Structure 1
Amino acid sequence: MSRVAIPLEAVDWLSVWRGVRGLVLAGDTAWPKRLHRAGHTLFALTDEPAVVDKLGPIDRITPLLARPEAIPTDPFQFEVVFVHQRLHTCDPDEALPQIARVLRPGGCLSASYLIRDDSVPWVRRLAALLRRFDPMAMKGDYGSESLERLRSSKYFPEVEERAFRVWQTISREDLLNLVRHQPLTANLNPSQLAHLLGQVSDLFDSAVRPGESLRLPFQLLCSRAWVNHEEMTGPVVLPESALAIPL
């Protein structure tokens, strides 16, 4: 199947403004390129040398080989820091202060996760079918719970949240390939796998009109966390028990 396309409405909401100078925490090239197409000037932070090589030739994208726990730029460089599907891969105690440091006053951390929406009836039926063979089938750990850490961060006291519905067109072969790549299929013999794929094909036929494709639903969970530098720049107050040395 092709990669799920993030709609422009969601990109605009996460970007806040047009033509921003942004930092994107990049696990691959897809998210930086999507933001680039929306007209933004980007620094792409990644710990993957191959991603640096692929992004380097692109105009208005400057790749940086580093981790978000140690961002190699001066303070107050970016209006928006973007992170898609990767917030859970960071150490929040180290990364969030670094992100706050490089954001300009009034800037924000825009974090997002694309997760499958299992509330649609045909998706629920597919999950129930696969869980006959593996109770954990289609119970992916997306990492989206990391968005909750933003709500408790002293560096980002104001957080806005929004969810976008995103649909991916899926053909019969796409659906069969999705099932073939499930871990549970490694435990099935050829006869069992053929029987399962036959049931999945019947499910497809019952859920779609002849000649059409299904649409696989996703939710794009988005957060805009607005930076507050007071915790980084406030005066140091000595406790009463501290030793004061007059100068």
Structure 2
Amino acid sequence: MAWLLPEAGSRVLDLCSGKGAFTRDLVSEGHRVFGITTDAATAELIATRVAAATILRARPTQMPFRPRWFDAITIADDRPNIPEVFPEAVRVLRPGGHLALLRTTRDDTVPWVRRLAALIQTHDPTAMTSTTTGPTEEELLADGWFVATDAKAFRLWVPVDRRTLLAMVERRLPVQKLDDTAHRNLLADVGMLFDDIARGHEVKLPYRIECRKAWPDPDRQAAEPSVTIGIHLHW
């Protein structure tokens, strides 16, 4: 958070995802947080969970905010078609403000994680194969909305006990469809792997957090003096 975002007390717009965990983290860091989501149920859920944030139902391609108002805009998921957000992001960011992207992916460079993946993939070839890390620097700069970027990666270790690891494997639909013998054998193998690597009562799943900041083209910011809200109202 310290690297990705401005100093505490900044005005931050979060393009909400999931159940609002990242939105809650922004508030806990002392920022003044606004959030938008297109889904009414999600907006209500996050507004309830994060009472200190202002949550609105709105499209990220039609943000109901005045130009040059936010210190940062955060996107913390693998949102499809992120470039569609760029024009509005540039419009509502203040001069010097930036887009802040965060992606969390599993770190498969750790040997025991590769062993776990190999076990599961014998029955579910699609398991543990995603490597999505969000837009590259070239993609952010491609259309000229942003003129500079910076990136930094962090590693996160998440404690997992034996029961939780087995439950994670069992939740996969292809695993649920296995016959009884194959199901038991897979869980036994995963349990043996856990027992082989565990220290104490847990293992630590490694994740890689990819953070990237992008700064808008100031000329494009200056060219957007107003925004239409609804049909008739303008800032």
| Fold-level similarity (TM above 0.5) | yes
Identity of aligned residues (%): 34
Match of 1:78 among 70, 94, 118: 70
Richer in strand (by share): 2
The letter for the 2-side match of 1:89 is P
How far apart in 1 are the matches of 2:86 and 2:11? 19
Q: Unaligned regions of 5+ residues in structure 1, if any?
A: 1-10, 235-247
Runs of 4+ in 1 over 3 A off after TM superposition: 54-60, 231-234
CA contact (8 A) 2:146 2:217 kept: yes
The letter for the 1-side match of 2:32 is T
Greater Rg, structure 1 or structure 2?
1
| In the alignment, structure 1 residue 173 sits paired with structure 2 residue 163 | yes
How far apart in 1 are the matches of 2:80 and 2:153? 21
The alignment's C-alpha RMSD in Å is 1.8
| In the alignment, structure 1 residue 31 sits paired with structure 2 residue 2 | no
Aligned to 2:232: none
Deviates more, 1:54-63 or 1:198-207: 54-63
Aligned to 1:162: 152
CA contact (8 A) 1:134 1:184 kept: yes
| In the alignment, structure 1 residue 132 sits paired with structure 2 residue 154 | no
CA contact (8 A) 1:105 1:228 kept: no
Deviation at residue 229 of structure 1 after TM alignment = 2.5
Q: Unaligned regions of 5+ residues in structure 2, if any?
A: 224-235
| In the alignment, structure 1 residue 44 sits paired with structure 2 residue 28 | no
The letter for the 1-side match of 2:5 is S
Deviation at residue 167 of structure 1 after TM alignment = 0.8
Q: TM-score, normalised by structure 2?
A: 0.87
Deviation at residue 77 of structure 1 after TM alignment = 0.9
Aligned to 2:135: 146
Aligned to 1:220: 209
Partner SS, residue 145 of structure 2: coil
Deviation at residue 147 of structure 1 after TM alignment = 4.1
CA contact (8 A) 1:163 1:222 kept: yes
Partner SS, residue 100 of structure 1: helix
Partner SS, residue 14 of structure 1: coil
How far apart in 2 are the matches of 1:184 and 1:171? 22
Deviates more, 1:133-142 or 1:50-59: 50-59
CA contact (8 A) 2:68 2:94 kept: yes
The letter for the 1-side match of 2:26 is L
CA contact (8 A) 2:71 2:96 kept: yes
Deviation at residue 16 of structure 1 after TM alignment = 2.5
Superposed, which structure 2 residues align to 1:49-128 within 5 Å?
A: 49-56=40-47, 58-86=50-78, 88-92=79-83, 94-128=84-118
Deviates more, 1:69-78 or 1:149-158: 149-158
Q: Rate the CA distance shift 1:178–1:56 in 2: closer, same or farther, 3 A.
A: closer
Q: Give the aligned length.
A: 220
How far apart in 2 are the matches of 1:90 and 1:72? 20
Deviation at residue 69 of structure 1 after TM alignment = 0.8
Q: TM-score, normalised by structure 1?
A: 0.83
Partner SS, residue 89 of structure 1: coil
